[in-house]
Structure 1
Amino acid sequence: MQIQYLEIVTEQVDAVCTAYAAAHDVQFGEPDASLGNARTAVLAGGGRVGVRAPLRDTEAPVVRPYWLVKDIEAAVAAVVQAGGYLAVEPTPIPGHGTFAIYLQGGNDHGLWQL
């Protein structure tokens, strides 16, 4: 298993980025509109971590890993069959890949296909 994108939703974007940058010696870029204005940094395995503010008033803070998969449709079918609830259908993000979000075990989970 490999994390392709680790999404952190927080009201304190700059503080979280500053702490991660200091603790892990990484650089966060400017907000990326295609990723909900997340500021991103590269992960050791080649993925990214993105820190962004909530996109709507009802969005709670969350840390959501997006696992890299070869076939997102097959992966979605497998997690639904295993009892996961699909929250966001596979959705392409130009230049980044396709993602989906499911809920299971009281946690948010993501899938990502390049």
Structure 2
Amino acid sequence: MKVHYLEIVSHDVDAVCRAYEEAHGIRFGDPDDLLGGARTCELPDGSIAGVRGPLRVDEDPVVRPNWLVEDIDGALAAVESKGAQVAVPPTDIPGKGKFAIYFLGSNQHGLWQR
């Protein structure tokens, strides 16, 4: 079990990136349009952290782990059987893989298939 992409939605992207860079000695890149304008960095274990602004007026700041899975459809069906509500069905991001977002236990969660 591994977090593939840690998505952080913030009203102050640059401040969050600077804080992580200073505290952890990492560097975030330029905004990636395929990830909603997120500035990303690869972490030592190969996972990715991304910080972006809200994509909608009603999108609140959130920290959303996207768990790496081999079968996103099967994993989504499994969490749905436990009461999860799908917010974003499996969606392809060219060259990056496929992601899905669901709500469970008052939290947002993500799945990622490469």
The alignment's TM-score, normalised by the length of structure 2, stands at 0.98
Pair 1:92 & 2:92 matched? yes
**How many pairs were matched up?**
114
Distance 1:43 1:77 in 2: 29
Structure 2: 5+ residue runs without aligned partners? none
CA RMSD of aligned residues (A): 0.6
**Segments ≥4 residues shifted beyond 4 Å:** none
The CA deviation string for residues 38-93 of structure 1, in whole angstroms up to 9 with x for no partner, is 00011222110000000110000000000000000000000000111111100000
TM alignment of 1:1-114, pairs within 5 A: 1-114=1-114
The alignment's TM-score, normalised by the length of structure 1, stands at 0.98
Q: Secondary structure at the match of 2:31?
A: coil
The CA deviation string for residues 80-110 of structure 1, in whole angstroms up to 9 with x for no partner, is 0011111110000001100000000000000
The CA deviation string for residues 7-64 of structure 1, in whole angstroms up to 9 with x for no partner, is 0000100000000001111010000000000000112221100000001100000000
Q: Secondary structure at the match of 1:64?
A: strand
Residue identity opposite 1:39 in structure 2? R
